[in-house]
Amino acid sequence: FLQEGSDTTFIHLIAAHLKAGNSSSDAVDRGLAAETVMSYIKNNLEPGYFMMCGDLNLYSASEDAFQELTSSTHGAYRLMDPMSEIGNWNNNSSFADVHTQSTHTSGNCFSGGGLDDRFDFILMSEQMLQDTGNVSYIADSYWAVGQDGNHFNQAINQGGNNSVNSTVLLSLYNMSDHLPVIADFRVKLLPEPDTAE
């Protein structure tokens, strides 16, 4: 058991894969899952450093799930989108630079359609986003790897894409129909507690 003021900072990660599908019942299921996540966070964690990452299958910021996760009614437990790209992401060229699915236009076990959905997220607590403590998000480091903003409704490797080298681009195309999302964080080194008696 670590005591208050110890040299340890806790970062809590919640990995999620919310219900897929574009029906109203699918959206309801995602909303219920988001309520469960927020209830868990509020009942089990102190305000601080936490993130929810994964394939949230959200078509729009107006979905109940996104609204629940980012609601200001949760106070210090509220999750935030470091991209501040709020809107109707589905098949909307205005959000081409944040789409993460699909890397393919067609093909066997991969979802097709080209890049036209923002399904994959890293949401984080305000404390991490606002640089108010020991762990903070590094501004402008959030990125869907391989996303150059120029492949709306196209495969990730169609035509030119210089956002990553050709080996990485081919791997992104072959490994999944989603792009991985990354972000960088700054972690402050805490002094070791004084153990002198």
DSSP code per residue over 70-100: H-GGGGGG-EE-TT---SB-TT-GGGTTT--
Q: Mean pLDDT for each 10-residue chunk of the chain (197 residues)? A: 62 95 96 96 91 96 97 93 94 96 80 89 92 86 95 93 93 92 88 63
Residue with tokens 């903003």: 149
* The pLDDT value given to residue 1: 45
Measured distance CA(115)–CA(90) in Å, rounded: 10
Q: Cβ of 115: how many Cβ atoms within 10 Å?
A: 31
pTM comes to 0.88
How far apart (Å, rounded) are the C-alpha atoms in residues 91 and 99?
9
Other beta carbons within 10 angstroms of residue 97's beta carbon come to: 18
Give the Cα separation of 5 and 84 in Å (integer).
Answer: 33
Residues 6 or more apart whose Cβ sits within 8 Å of residue 136: 128, 129, 130, 185, 186
As separate numbers, helices (DSSP H) first and strands (DSSP E) second, the chain gives 4, 8
Token code pair at residue 39 = 């209830």
Q: What is the pLDDT of residue 104?
A: 84
* Helix/strand/coil for 15: strand
pLDDT at position 185: 94
Pick from 55, 11, 63: nearest CA to 35:
63
